[in-house]
Amino acid sequence: MTTLPLPLTPPRNAGRGQTRRAAHARLTAAAAVPLFAAACAGGSGGLAGAGDQAKPAALKAGSTLLFWNDQGGGMTAVMQDWAKRFQQKTGVNVDVTAGIPDARDKITAALTAGTPPDVYRYLQETFPIVAAVERNMLLKIDSYVKRDKYDLADFRKDAVELYRWKGNLHALPRAYGLQCLFYAADLFAREGVPPIPGDWNDKTWTFQKFTEASQRLARTGERHALYVPRASRLWASFVYSNGGALVKKNADGLATGIALHETPAVEALQLMQDLIYKHNVAPTPPEERQLGDALALAQGGKLAMQITNPGGNARWRSTGMAYDAGVFPIGAAARRGVGGGGTGWSISGPSKQPEEAWALLSFITSKEAQLDELAEGSTTPVRISISTSQQYLTPLPKNARVFADGQDYVVRDPVHARWPDLERDINKLFDEQLWTGQVPAAQVARQIRDLADPILKQA
């Protein structure tokens, strides 16, 4: 069997609200807790009995699971609370490590050393599923789902399918993010700019209308309409919403060639460059670095809009300013498309405690656990019962339905073992040529084609 290379690209963190500050907490219990059989719970996240399937093994009280997450910040406390509750319920200790810097390298090193985390946050943009499966980074969980009648129906089907490869399920969804616009509502009203639509089927909020609104909102030397986003899923949203694609795919969904040199993609990328250098509604990258945080500028009336994922809502809401959310603009596409897909929770393939790890995975993907993450505020719910609930939709903004409805328009990242490497090289070309305004989009895209096609055509 051919071993596919692990990608060399660090994970993207733009728009995720991650705090890269390591925080470690070891949670153990002094008192013994009775053995907990996985069959004692069910429904939204517990493990139910499986009829004529083999009974799940009793969990080993006193054993310890390693639980890793590259996210820190508020997620540290959430994970610590989960670990405490899980220990009280099962007698199994959970060693929590959150806010891991260079998580890609640390996970790879731990796997190589034979000491991987039992459960960890899995990002396909860091470890494409085809490579992760080949390297035994992910445990197949179909037998556990079937045995315990774990209910997948409340998860978005497309989110579950992100973690299925060659018919096998390798992880459970944690979040299902997308890209939308947040904007300063009072500023729009003051400048006579209509609110951004909240209906993803709307056909009036076009690239042209978006450009015109940006021109009305920008003031030379005083205010910009927005920052042109340079993270992959964000610039890709312009491509998708203009009817373009990043790659060509085979029947399995595996990338076989680049598509960024085709007309819809080139037009979308050229628009983004023009927003900076032709229309003068967005700062150049050096100016952006000087200006600093986008939301702080919006609070000060110096920025009108921000393109980001729904995880940004907690920060916008915390400002107390009048704001709303709206759909991504549409170009030549018949239907909008936005980058996203979120992240998952997985069990490492070599875990020596698969039963205990599965019990923890079931626990942290339950409806109750996702409500904990909803309260923390940095994720986009993947359970339908939560993403469509009043608890999620009632708080600001007015158009909060944009978040849940937009999940229907997500386009998954390209699937190829070498995609993270190529993505790094594409973004390097963009940083050097496209975002500096030195080279037109068509010329940059041809360079990408010549670079990427030979690699993507490899099995």
Binned at pLDDT 50, 70 and 90, residue 14 comes out as very low
Could you give the residue ranges of the DSSP H alpha helices within 182-312? 185-190, 207-217, 232-240, 263-277, 285-291, 294-299
Residue 389 lies in a domain: no
Residues 147 and 52 in one domain: yes
Residues 362 and 444 in one domain: no
Residue 269 lies in a domain: yes
Residues 165 and 226 in one domain: no
Residue 439 lies in a domain: yes
Question: 117: cis peptide before it, omega within 30°?
Answer: no
Question: Which amino acid does the sequence have at 364?
Answer: I
- Is the model more confident about 136 or about 1? 136
Residues 170 and 294 in one domain: no
DSSP code at position 282: S
Position 304 scores a pLDDT of 99
Distance CA 336, CA 210 (A): 14
Please provide residue 100's backbone torsions phi and psi, each rounded to the nearest 5 degrees: -75, 115
Which of 18-32, 104-118, 127-141, 282-296 has the least mean pLDDT?
18-32
Residue 31 has pLDDT above 50, yes or no: no
**What CATH number corresponds to the domain at position 439?**
3.40.190.10
Residue 34 has pLDDT above 90, yes or no: no
Length of the chain: 459
Residues 278 and 168 in one domain: no
Residues 423 and 275 in one domain: yes
Distance CA 125, CA 127 (A): 6
Residues 163 and 235 in one domain: no
Residue 265 lies in a domain: yes
3-state secondary structure of 165: strand
Supply angle C-alpha 374, 380, 381, rounded to 5: 65
Residue 404 lies in a domain: no
Quickly tell me which residue has 């819809």 as its tokens. 264
The span from the first CA to the last CA of the chain, in angstroms, equals: 12
Position 393 scores a pLDDT of 86
- Is the model more confident about 13 or about 276? 276
Residues 446 and 332 in one domain: yes
Position 409 scores a pLDDT of 98
Parent domain of 255: 180-339+412-456
Average pLDDT, the chain: 90
Residues 262 and 352 in one domain: no
Boundary (domain end) residue, out of 331, 360, 382: 382
Q: How confident is the model over 119-128, as a mean pLDDT?
A: 95
Percent of the chain beyond pLDDT 70? 88
Distance CA 233, CA 409 (A): 13
Q: Give Cα 342 to chain centroid, integer Å.
A: 3
pTM as predicted? 0.87
pLDDT digits (tens, 9 = 90+) for 156-194: 999 999 999 999 999 999 999 999 999 999 999 999 999
DSSP code at position 27: E
Could you give the residue ranges of the DSSP H alpha helices within 347-418? 354-364, 367-376, 384-387, 390-393, 401-406
Quickly tell me which residue has 């030979």 as its tokens. 454
82 C-beta neighbours (distance < 10 Å), count? 22
Structural domains counted in the chain: 2
Position 459 scores a pLDDT of 62
Phi-psi region of 325 (alpha: psi -120 to 50; beta: other; left: phi over 0): beta
Residue 398 lies in a domain: no
Residues 302 and 427 in one domain: yes
Which of 3-7, 214-218, 294-298, 323-327 has the least mean pLDDT?
3-7
Contact 363, 78 (CB under 8 A): no
Residue 298 lies in a domain: yes
pLDDT digits (tens, 9 = 90+) for 185-228: 999 999 999 999 999 999 999 999 999 999 999 999 999 999 99
Residue 70 lies in a domain: yes
**Nearest CA among 170, 163, 110 for reference residue 354:** 170
Residues 210 and 278 in one domain: yes
Residues 359 and 302 in one domain: no
Position 55 scores a pLDDT of 61
Residue 2 has pLDDT above 60, yes or no: no
